[in-house]
Amino acid sequence: MTIDHLDGALLELLAQEPRIGVLEASRRLGVARGTVQARLDRLQSNGVIRGFGPDVDPAAIGYPVTAFATLEIKQGQGNDVRAHLTTVPEVLELHTTTGHGDMLCRLVARSNADLQRVIDRVVGFDGIVRASTAIVMENPVPLRIIPLVKQASGD
Amino acid sequence: MTIDHLDGALLELLAQEPRIGVLEASRRLGVARGTVQARLDRLQSNGVIRGFGPDVDPAAIGYPVTAFATLEIKQGQGNDVRAHLTTVPEVLELHTTTGHGDMLCRLVARSNADLQRVIDRVVGFDGIVRASTAIVMENPVPLRIIPLVKQASGD
DNA sequence: AATCTCCTGGGCATTATGCATAGCGAGAGG
DNA sequence: CCTCTCGCTATGCATAATGCCCAGGAGATT
């Protein structure tokens, strides 16, 4: 799937003012309304735009501590561990990786003390051999996509 | 900031059908339109909802490879490194952490070969001493927030 | 030259929004 | 016990956006 310049501009506009409508977007971009509608439909059916989920800040609902945990898994226990971690609400994200660990997950907690509880819950499962945790202090680059979109759409 | 059950249900609804309008949401939730409007306003001004950014899939725009890199930084070079990484579009996210490394960043690339180029660009900077990279194979739990929202809203 | 695809520009019925108003019930403080 | 305040309900109305339609034109492909 390739992204042209209009697609890039549309994504950028949506990122900046997400509640914008199709009509307003077409005005800003200087194209016809139908064009914007068609591009949006295409971007969504191509899977470029997965959705417009509300971006909820965990800190604002009482979970200001973020951490990343690298997990080492017993051979053959991968599926069980996945299933286990899926049930823990504080696990926001889970990846299986190459390298020293086998999995990497993003955790949140109510406090540093609470993080211990979360980690105990995560690690308190038979298939997990070892976990090493890195607590996030700052987040100088929050999750972003626009620079990449610009690059992909030919700047 | 506390979240009650109605807030939780509203967030869940928005997560499932993001392009829903206030009127439709009020119908689904069985409350008055003004109530939904008021809750939404409050959630946004409290920072619980940061925005409704389009969720763009890097894989769909030509960057199917994701990796996490742990960076070790020379003392006192933190700001320079941050500034450097900000300029790299393939760096989607950057955290400073406690633990063995000093920073953790999420990268994407066009291929495994291209990942080498990205890493070279990331690491090719004076303040970075060492980098260890973990390539993502699977993503059993994609970034999610609803389970946490449910927990926070007393569910 | 004929076709295809994409964008344009318009029209039209339906629906949503922003804004305002008034009533009602529950809880807090006097 | 009384009263005040606050949040939810319910409704109305003018304005704006949406979904869907179609005909025409420009550029690229065959």
pLDDT of residue B19: 86
CATH class of the B5-54 domain in this structure: mainly alpha
Q: What is the mean pLDDT of chain B?
A: 94
Using a CB-CB distance cutoff of 8 angstroms, which residues of chain A are in contact with residue B92?
A: 141, 143-145, 148
Q: Does the C-beta of B83 come within 7 A of strand D? A: no
Task: Convert the pLDDT of each residue in A99-144 to its tens digit.
Answer: 888 999 999 999 999 999 999 999 999 999 999 999 999 999 999 9
**What is the reported pLDDT for B24?**
95
Average pLDDT over residues B81-97: 97
Q: Is it true that domain A58-135 has CATH number 3.90.280.10?
A: no
Which A-chain residues 3-62 have CB contacts (< 8 A) with chain B?
A: 3, 11, 14-15, 18-19, 46-62
- The answer to whether A22 CB sits below 7 Å from nucleic acid chain D is yes
What pLDDT does B101 receive?
79
pLDDT band at B111 (very low <50, low <70, confident <90, very high): very high
pLDDT of residue A111: 97
pLDDT digits (tens, 9 = 90+) for B45-67: 999 999 898 999 999 999 999 99
Please check the confidence at residue A1 and state whether its pLDDT lies above 80. Answer: no
Q: What is the pLDDT of residues A43-83, one digit of tens each?
A: 999 999 998 989 999 999 999 999 999 999 999 999 999 99
Pair of tokens at residue B62: 């030509």
Q: Pick from B3, B63, B137: which is nearest to A61 by CB?
A: B3
Task: Judge whether residue B155 has pLDDT over 80.
Answer: no
In Å, what is the separation between the CA of B32 and the C1' of D12?
15
- Residue boundaries of the structural domains of chain B: 5-54, 58-135
Chain B's closest residue to A15, CA to CA, is B53
Rounded to whole angstroms, the Cα distance separating B115 from B105 reads 13
Are B100 and A145 inside 8 Å of each other by CB?
A: no
pTM summary value: 0.91
Distance of alpha carbon B150 from alpha carbon B155, whole angstroms: 5
Give the pLDDT band of residue A151 (cuts 50, 70, 90). very high
Cβ of residue A20 lies below 7 Å from strand C: no
Size of interface A-B (CB pairs under 8 A): 217
Question: What's the confidence (pLDDT) of residue A155?
Answer: 76
The mean per-residue pLDDT over the stretch B86-92 comes to 98
Q: What is the mean pLDDT of residues B86-112?
A: 95
